[in-house]
Chains A and B, each alone.
Chain A
Amino acid sequence: MNSIIPQISVGLSIASILLLIALGLAIIYGTMGVINLAHGDFVMLGAYTVWFLQKQFAMNLITTLPFVFAFVGAVGWLAERMLIRHLYQRPLDTILATWGLGVIMQQAVRLLAGAELRYVKMPDFLINPVHFFGYEDSAYRIFIFALAVALLIATYVLIYKTEFGLRMRAITQNRDVSRCFGINAGRVYALTFAYGAGLAGIAGALVSPLKSVAPDMGTGYVVDAFLVVVLGGVHSLLGTVASSYVIGQADAVLASWSDDTIAKAVVFLGVVVLIRLFPQGLFAMRVRRS
């Protein structure tokens, strides 16, 4: 009993970070069929934005979040308008193009901000742990968890309760028919991509005080995010949430008696077997052809 509660909280903590990072990826992929290999670099960009704002204007991490969202979202919007837009007929090529984009972003940041690790300050009131029910846990991790849940709800509302979300879902189902009904697909795609990128930026901003900030920090995250998407599919937010939780918890449990690598390998094998067993149910992916 004594070790179960800490373990669950570790699992939740890992899961909330995974969710933050995977959410943007899943939305972009789910709506547009675009595999965004630059996603990790949007995460990195978010972290660097915080670093820059803190350094220049001594801002608090929490007050930087809107700026981070706006800036990284804007970069995402630009990327969609200038690059991705031309590749909707060729979904596989978006993989290549976004990878090139990621390389450029990484090197640009390295040249502008330097190659060394950067320091992002944690909000003061969140540094010390909090105590509850006789346990103690990191206040900052609880904060991340809360924000992850909040962003999840916001995303849910956006997709299922707003008109924009309605358009988005319509396009996901059938782009051509939606256009006949007067939906501006290009605009919806651009905004979706911007939203996904903005989420990645927020994720980067939030993990930066807990981890480290470097030009290539995104590479590791994008892999984890892909594992989440592979496991959860992209049909529903629920899939992403569930698979973040499963992977986070599996990491926590397996890491306590073995190590994280084995945990990842086991999760991956599990995914491959699942695909074979439930090809339609869990993973029926329609690749957009038009």
Chain B
Amino acid sequence: MTSQRQALHRLGGYAAVCVLILLVPLFVSDGYLLNKFARYLVFGILSLALSLSWGYAGILNLGQAAGFGLGSYCMAMALKLRTIPIQTGAGGLPDFMVWNNVHTLPWFWQPFHSYAFALLAGIGVPVLVAFLIGWFVFRARVSGVYVAIITLAMLVVINLVIIDQQRYTGGFNGITDLTTFKVFGVEFGAYSVSTYYLAAVILTLLLFLGLALMNSKTGLILQAIRDDETRVRYFGYDVANYQNFIFCVSAGVAGLAGMLYTLVMEFASPTFLAVPISLSIVIWCAVGGRASLLGAALGAIVVTGVQGSLSDSKTFLDTWMLIMGALFIVVVLFLPNGLISIVDVIRDKRERRRLAAAAGAPRRTAVVAPSRSAAR
């Protein structure tokens, strides 16, 4: 009974937040604010992606930004090919190629003339990369901290290669000066309501799809793997396959977020797949609550919001980084399950009180906290 009600509560919570998010454009018409909120939502999606693999399956992917960046580049490439290069002469190649003395469009840029291909690639490329890494890593039964280091190294290498190959990727500057994305007559400009809704709808869908996935058999097995990998293996499940599956799903979702990010930011940059943002994702996820999709998404929104306000204010101009670092340590030390766990704590207390009242006398009742899982 209790768990059913909890599930209902959770659904209600998810729905309430989604409705709030979808209602925002009714109150905010300013393009600048919509753009800012859309950016936060994209980070929410990204954080949700990490929650899938880290919170639910115990795979800490420190290279989560790799999928994000690759998705972002795929979108940028498609948009770049439709941009008239005004700085280097119309009718030519993308401007950065001209600057780098490239004379023909490289073969892997060719298919990006098609939006359909670009959209597929934005998800497909991150999934493919994740699959290859995952195949090597999970088959070898590497787990825990070591996965974190390897994914971090993977991120660094992809980042270095993109910066290095500036003839084809725009290098350090990234791919800038992009046209507006337009499909079926709808323009998705950085400041438009349509882009906000696109991000909001995708976040909503992913929240519920993610919830469904995690309550499916696959999801339950993944959570079991998180709690005790060996035991699940003894039950005869192919642990590596499950791990690689969620690793790839997570990368695909990150790729999707990356594509949205290009629309919101109007450029793609190697900093989108650099170490700082990748660690930031982990932080959002940890602050919000890694084992809750909603918590992770809200964590991203809250942390980036606070960070933005702190660094905007004159008082904290010098110290905002100090404050962020300290806040972060405090959360790790004292709220290992993130801010969302406050909800649990409150509910447990109330539950306990209710049970105690029902029993007629104050009594210590051991109501075990729901399996939101201890942090690992």
Contacts and interface: CB of A to CB of B under 8 A. Distances in A.
Interface of A: 29, 33, 35, 37, 83, 86-87, 90-93, 95-97, 99-104, 106-108, 111, 219, 223, 226-227, 229-230, 259, 261-262, 264-265, 268-269, 271-273, 275-276, 279, 283, 285, 287
Contacts of A272: 133, 136-137, 150, 154
A92 B148 contact: yes
Given A35-B148, A276-B139, A285-B146, 18 more contacts: A83-B333, A90-B375, A91-B376, A92-B148, A93-B332, A96-B286, A97-B329, A100-B326, A100-B332, A101-B325, A227-B153, A259-B164, A261-B160, A265-B161, A275-B140, A275-B142, A283-B140, A283-B146
**A interface secondary structure, majority:** helix
Contact of A275 (B150, B326, B333): B150
A99, A223, A259, A283: which has the most chain B beta carbons within 10 Å? A99
Nearest to A229: B149
**B interface secondary structure, majority:** helix
B142 A279 contact: yes
A268 B154 contact: yes
A93 B286 CA distance: 9
B139 to A, nearest CB: 6
Interface stretch (B27-35, B92-100, B316-324): B316-324
A111 B283 contact: no
21 contacts: A35-B145, A92-B375, A96-B328, A97-B332, A99-B283, A100-B326, A103-B328, A111-B319, A261-B161, A262-B161, A264-B156, A264-B157, A264-B160, A269-B157, A271-B150, A272-B133, A272-B150, A275-B136, A275-B140, A279-B140, A283-B140
B279 to A, nearest CB: 5
Interface residues of B, number: 45
A90 B283 CA distance: 15
B249 interface: no
B60 A95 contact: yes
Contact of A96 (B137, B140, B283, B324): B283
Given A101-B329, A283-B140, A283-B146, A261 B321 contact: no
Interface string B300-330: 0000000000000000001101101110110
Contacts of B328: 96-97, 99-100, 103
Contacts of B79: none
Contacts of B143: 287
B146 A96 contact: no
B152 interface: yes
A33 B324 contact: no
A97 B334 CA distance: 12
Given A33-B145, A272-B150, A107 B322 contact: yes
